[in-house]
Amino acid sequence: SRGLGDVYKRQLMALGLEVETGIAKTGVTGLLRGDQEGFTIALRADMDALPIQEKTGLAYQSLNTGVMHACGHDIHMAVVLGTAMVLKSLKNKIKGNIKFIFQPAEEGTPSGEKGGASLMIEEGVLKDPMVGAVFGFHVWPQAETGTVMFSPGSIMAGSDRFTILIKGKSAHGAMPHEGIDAIDLSAQIILNTRSVASRSIDPTSPVVISFGKIEGGKKANIIADRVHMEGTVRTLDKFMQARVKKLIEDVIKGTASPVGASYEFDYQAGSPPVYNHPELAKLLQPSLYAAVGEENVVELKPVMVAEDFSEYSRIIPGFYFFLGVTSTETKTIYPLHSPYFNPDEKSISIGIKVMCHLLLDCLKQQESFANRPSE
């Protein structure tokens, strides 16, 4: 994100905004002060790409081998910068201030490092002046260009990660009774976790437990003494995250201990669910109608993908929506994180229009929700 940060620094300075750099390592902010007194709101764009080799074959595809904007963050940045350009020209109509946040590391940080939204908050991105509400969005290939998807309450899941190391005992494959089979135990843990979760958790509070990596064993005729597993937990209920952690560990212990195996379990809590403040949503939903037409605003069922925008919206009221980016002409759909992902660039101007409506209307109605907690 360092190169992008320099680009946006120059662009924001050219607009005459108050610019700060080096936030959360490569983050950039630009503050637009309106001509009228009021409080401050923020608009956030994530900047990072993904370790994917682009295969679109387009003239403007990534020039960096093995790196691609496969999650649409380039569209996010373009919309936020375009919104800054438009609103700078409307400075005399702005009642308050707007902070434009360009954030690195939404896709995660290297192991052991801090970054993303939580580090930007820690380093004061919501202060000087204090931010009273925050806005964000994500491109959505399952919706056509011109469509906005939105709903109040939780709309994206919280995401945690875990690792499990099963410690058994090696033996000859012909004499398994002399060993403790870590591979067999890992298979039981995977199945038991899903079974217990389906019977221990209220089905109206969805939880997704996924094992994405498993490594163990050395040779076909040797009972494995070690198996390493990694997985994720997705839930729409922030209180459920702690409960799921205990559930998984209970299953591991109950499977390993009776046969004399031991284990290591590391559970890393991630961002909570993305939450749209209901009162803010009620006030500003008409703004979406004004921007794209009521017929193009579609109610969104919560999705189990995750986003660290929730770090902002659990502190102050947040407003987050999905922007359709599938061309109505080609209707070719490639999912997020695909090497063929190619969002319709016509969505950029639509996103700018939506954001301008939301931000201006928010400042006009700021007395209705300013300084209230997000939940």
Tell me which residue of 27, 221, 244 sits closest to 122, measured CA to CA.
27
Strand partners, 18: 31
Helical spans, DSSP H, in 229-345: 238-256, 278-292, 310-313
Q: Cis ω on the peptide bond leading into residue 110 (within 30° of 0)?
A: no
| Residue 106 annotated to the active site | yes
Tell me which residue of 49, 274, 44, 32 sits closest to 136, measured CA to CA.
44
Taking a C-beta distance cutoff of 8 angstroms, is the pair 47, 102 a contact? yes
| Helix (H/G/I), strand (E/B), else coil: 340 | coil
With tokens 């046969």, the residue in question is: 259
With tokens 């011109």, the residue in question is: 146
Pairing status of strand 131-144 against strand 318-326: parallel
Q: Which amino acid is at 323?
A: L
Pairing status of strand 303-306 against strand 153-167: parallel
List of residues 6+ apart from 103 with CB closer than 8 A = 24, 27, 44, 45, 46, 47, 116, 117, 120
- In angstroms, the Cα distances linking 50 to 74, 80, 273, 305 are 11, 20, 22, 16
DSSP 8-class letter at 302: P
Q: Where are the beta strands (DSSP E) in 205-351?
A: 207-216, 222-223, 226-235, 262-268, 274-276, 297-299, 303-306, 318-326
Tell me which residue of 137, 132, 167, 133 sits closest to 150, measured CA to CA.
137
Q: If phi over 0 gives left and psi between -120 and 50 gives alpha, with beta otherwise, what is residue 370?
A: beta
Catalytic annotation, pick one of 48, 54, 160, 184: 48
Catalytic annotation, pick one of 106, 144, 160, 181: 106
Catalytic positions are: 48, 106
